[in-house]
Amino acid sequence: MGKRVNPNIVKIHRNYTVEEVANLCSIHKNTVRAWVEKGLPVNDDKRPMLILGRELRSFLRVQKVKHKQRCKPHEFYCLRCKKPQRPAEDMVDYEPINGDRGCLIGICPACGGIINKYSSLANAEQLWSDADFAIPRTLERLKR
């Protein structure tokens, strides 16, 4: 999957050519032509193909929502695999950032990479009480 384009950079009251859309979004012209084949409406089939700004913006927003993936409470998003994963063997470490927030760290079972998720200590303990959950010793002493 390539770069995600921000739909808000498109002006809705303007018509764009394929080249102008490519320059605006910093992508290749063939990508824009592939969008047209996927269903991006064009003004007519004549050359130059004109794309309405409002149609382009709505197309980009639909694509953004379609590719969005929500993580369940016990899942972390793996940047290598590009999908939510549950940590390998449910082993999770908690690394404090400040007084009430910290970073949960696990290992992706598919690729072996590090996966992170930010959470409060109370929420992390509640979610991972049944798993192998490691809290640094300094926090254990402070907690009592």
CB 81 within 8 A of CB 107: no
Say if pTM beats, i.e. exceeds, 0.95.
no
pLDDT at 102: 84
Query: How far apart are the C-alpha atoms of 111 and 32, rounded to whole Å?
Result: 32
- What domains appear along the chain, each with residue ranges and CATH number? 7-67 (1.10.10), 76-143 (no CATH)
pLDDT at 1: 46
Query: How far apart are the C-alpha atoms of 102 and 98, rounded to whole Å?
Result: 7
| Residue-by-residue pLDDT tens, the chain, 144 positions | 467 788 999 999 999 999 999 999 999 999 999 999 999 999 877 788 899 999 999 999 998 888 777 888 888 888 888 888 888 888 888 888 887 888 888 899 989 888 988 888 787 777 766 666 666 655 555 554
